[in-house]
Amino acid sequence: MCGRFAQATALEKLRELTEISHQLHLPARYNIAPSSQVAIVRQSHNGQLECTSMKWGLVPHWARDDAIGHKLINAKMETLLEKPSFRGPFRYRRCAIPVDGFYEWTTENKAKQPWFIRMDNDQPMLLAGLWDLWETPEQNLESFTIITRPADSQIQPIHSRMPVLLKMNELSVWLSRENQKPDSLFPIMESTPTLISYKVNTLVNSPRNDDKTLIEPLYEGKTFKLI
């Protein structure tokens, strides 16, 4: 699964690489947990890429209440066409979440050890996601989920699953409202960019902690690159 990530510099870096309308300014976050408001990128109705803020934890448009969002922070790639919560958004409401990296945990001496995983070229990491709009007389809520897949050889030593990572040159194709054919979307979700992973401070274990030191290597000057 993907249950925690950092979103500090990724959005600004993405703006330098592509044109995005609707400038959104959120504070730098280094330990984002589910239910948070997060910057995401999608295609607007006029065909441009736009950045907006959504709640992490998908609330389908047909849901009776928004509590279901706590269970839908991730969507398995293998069952996107089977689950009622994801079928429609997969065809019509895809998004990307620009992040600096994400966290996963291993167990060492019966304790949870966090790892930070990021791109090896310092570019923003683009997580594939789905979004939906839940409307009630009281509120309109836009929310999203992160798509996950079986871990590749880089992540397997840490966790059995990983978020689907998008290539920069395939971002527009992924977000296109006109592209509604699953057969053309699944190959995009098989991208395996080179990643760097290293242990970080266990302060990450509490989402109440949120500062830049959380993404720094636990052992100064030494990182662990997984092959």
Per-residue pLDDT reduced to its tens digit, 124-176: 999 999 999 999 888 899 999 999 999 999 999 999 999 999 999 999 999 99
- Residue type for position 83: K
Alpha helices in 125-169 (DSSP H): none
Label residue 226 by pLDDT band (50, 70, 90). very low
Please state the rounded mean pLDDT for residues 39-54.
92
Is 104 a residue of the active site?
yes
- pLDDT score for 225: 46
Query: pLDDT above 70 covers what percent of the chain?
Result: 95
CATH superfamily label, 5-101+124-194: SOS response associated peptidase-like (3.90.1680.10)
Q: Which residue has the tokens 């895809």?
A: 94
Catalytic residue among 2, 51, 95, 142: 2
Label residue 191 by pLDDT band (50, 70, 90). confident
Strands 74-76 and 140-150: parallel
- 171 and 126 in contact (C-beta within 8 Å)? yes
Please name the helix (run of DSSP H) or strand (run of DSSP E) that holds residue 192, with its range, or none. none
Is 95 a residue of the active site?
no
Q: Is 147 exposed, middle or buried (0-12, 13-18, 19+ CB in 10 A)?
A: buried
Please state the rounded mean pLDDT for residues 4-13.
93
Please state the rounded mean pLDDT for residues 52-76.
96
Catalytic residue among 51, 95, 104, 142: 104
- pLDDT score for 1: 76
